[in-house]
């Protein structure tokens, strides 16, 4: 397997000369070579990380709601200073336990600090307007959106109860072995106003950033 990965790396380096990489084609051909022809599972972490590193692949945004609890003032005191607007977004990187004992990746907390129930259009169990951003090339660019975010049909609504906090698992985006550190945040809209989370730092592989820049018409 190591010899195969070495040969594929040489092939990928040769193709880097193209000014605009055909990422989808690269994804298909490398995926076919790594997973279909060799019967290696995508659960094999070494092979999967190689695939991500070479193709610049970033998984779709998925937010899975885990729990909704009453806001506890003692817990809030341990968090970064929060602007107590109607809705507030907070990203936890789980280096420190925040609202629950867990360490399985990035989490997004949505607080409703009001004494009223707040309803927002949703896709699944998460607000439709949630968008991830990274700071690259001196500007904030979209990293991922929820699938279906352009839908113009009336959407079901998710209800945030008064004085509660909802916790979401964020589908993997941070690469532990990534070599590029970038500022990262969430934004959403409510009542025509933008709500912005805190910023944390995540890591990506160079090809992931290059692919994002090209897809945003910002060649590096």
Q: Is residue 220 part of a domain?
A: no
Domain range for 120: 63-210
Please write the tens of the pLDDT for every residue from 32-44: 887 776 667 766 7
Q: What is the pLDDT of residue 154?
A: 62
Q: How close are the terminal C-alpha atoms of the chain, in Å?
A: 32
Under the phi-then-psi rule, with left for phi > 0, alpha for psi from -120 to 50, and beta for the rest, what region is 49? alpha
Cα angle for residues 66, 199, 212 (degrees, 5° grid): 90
Q: Please, are residues 186 and 213 in contact by the beta-carbon 8 Å criterion?
A: no
Domain count, the chain: 2
Q: What is the pLDDT of residue 98?
A: 52
**DSSP 8-class letter at 155:** P
Q: Is residue 218 part of a domain?
A: no
Does one domain contain both 94 and 123? yes
What are 78's two structure tokens?
């341990």
User: Looking at residues 153-160, what average pLDDT do you find?
Assistant: 80
Does one domain contain both 25 and 102? no
**Closest C-alpha among 129, 127, 182 to residue 156:** 127
Kindly tell me if the per-residue pLDDT of 174 is higher than 70. yes
Please write the tens of the pLDDT for every residue from 108-135: 999 998 889 999 988 888 898 899 999 9
Helix (H, G, I), strand (E, B) or coil at 54: helix
- This prediction has a pTM of 0.79
Kindly tell me if the per-residue pLDDT of 70 is higher than 70. yes
Please write the tens of the pLDDT for every residue from 82-95: 666 789 999 986 54
């Amino acid at each position: 397997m190591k010899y195969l990965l070495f040969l594929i790396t040489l092939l990928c380096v040769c193709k880097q000369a193209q000014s605009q990489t055909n990422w989808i084609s690269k994804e298909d051909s490398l995926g076919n070579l790594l997973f279909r022809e060799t019967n290696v599972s995508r659960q094999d972490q070494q092979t999967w990380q190689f695939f991500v590193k070479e193709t610049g692949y970033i998984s779709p945004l998925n937010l899975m709601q885990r729990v909704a609890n009453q806001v506890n003032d003692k817990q809030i005191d341990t968090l970064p200073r929060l602007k107590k607007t109607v809705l507030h977004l907070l990203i936890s990187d789980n280096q420190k336990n925040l609202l629950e004992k867990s360490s399985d990746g990035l989490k997004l907390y949505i607080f409703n600090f009001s004494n009223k129930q707040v309803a927002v259009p949703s896709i699944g169990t998460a607000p439709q307007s949630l968008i991830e951003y990274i700071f690259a090339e001196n500007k904030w660019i979209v990293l991922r959106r929820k699938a279906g975010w352009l839908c113009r049909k009336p959407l079901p609504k998710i209800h945030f109860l008064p004085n509660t906090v909802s916790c979401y698992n964020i589908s993997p985006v941070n690469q532990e072995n990534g070599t590029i550190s970038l500022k990262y945040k969430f934004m959403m809209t409510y009542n025509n106003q933008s709500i912005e989370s805190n910023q944390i730092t995540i890591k990506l592989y160079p090809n992931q950033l290059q692919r994002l820049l090209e897809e945003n018409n910002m060649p590096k």
